[in-house]
Structure 1
Amino acid sequence: MSKYLLNKFLFTVDRDPDLVERYRAAPHETVAWWESTMANELLNCHGGEASTWLAFDDVERDALTGHDYVKLFELGAHPFLTLTLFIAMFERDYEEPLAFQKEYAARLSHFTLPYPDIAT
């Protein structure tokens, strides 16, 4: 399991409106594409720098493709990264203001301190 890779996925997808829409519409294809093309690109590095060993495990991949932010939180994904990405993807599906944020909080309400470690 790699919290770094989960957070990197959430961070990079959230910052690209086209990827947000792609991930919303086709999560399996987007995760597979991202993992095969972007997972081993190093953040903040100039061209040609990459690693070769980063990959999601089955649990991470299932959580990402299932848009399962509760499982992602359990796995140690940063809650601000999951919240901002999933707001961008799903807030439009609700009519009441802050309805998605309230659902997010309710679905995570069974967690008690100490929360899962989000350090990478």
Structure 2
Amino acid sequence: MSKYLLNKFLYTIDRDTDLVERYRADPAATVARWEAEYANRLLNCVDGEASTWLAFDDTERTALITHDYPKLFELGAHPFLTLTLFIGMFERDYTEPLGFQLEYARRLSHVRLPYPDIST
């Protein structure tokens, strides 16, 4: 398990509107493509520099594909990264103000202090 890789996925997807829309429409293909093309690229570095060992485990991959943000939080994904990405993806599906944020809070209401470790 790699909290770093989960957070890197959330961060990079959230910063590209095309990737956000692809992730919303076809999460399995987006996760697979991102893992193949982006997972081992170094953030903010020169093209061509990359690692070779980063990959999601089955639990992480399933949580990403199913948009299971409570599970992602349990796995150590940073809550601000999950919240901002999923607001961008799902806020439009709610008619009431702060609709998705309230849903996010409801689905994470079972989490008690101490929160899962979100350090990478």
The TM-score range, normalised by the shorter chain, is over 0.9
Cα displacement (A) at 1:27: 0.1
Cα displacement (A) at 1:44: 1.2
Instruction: Please name the residue that 1:109 is paired with.
Output: 109
Instruction: Please name the residue that 2:22 is paired with.
Output: 22
- Which SS does the other structure have where 2:13 is aligned? helix
Cα displacement (A) at 1:15: 0.3
Normalising by structure 1, what TM-score? 0.99
Instruction: Please name the residue that 1:94 is paired with.
Output: 94
Normalising by structure 2, what TM-score? 0.99
CA offsets, 1:68-108, max 9 Å, x none? 00000000000000000000000000000101100100110
CA offsets, 1:40-67, max 9 Å, x none? 0000111211000000000000000000
% identical aligned pairs = 78
> Alignment length, in residue pairs?
120
Q: Structure 2: any 5+ residue segments left out of the alignment? A: none
User: CA separation in 2, counterparts of 1:98 and 1:51?
Assistant: 39
RMSD: 0.4
* Structure 1 segments of 4+ aligned residues over 4 angstroms from their partners: none
Aligned letter for 1:112? R
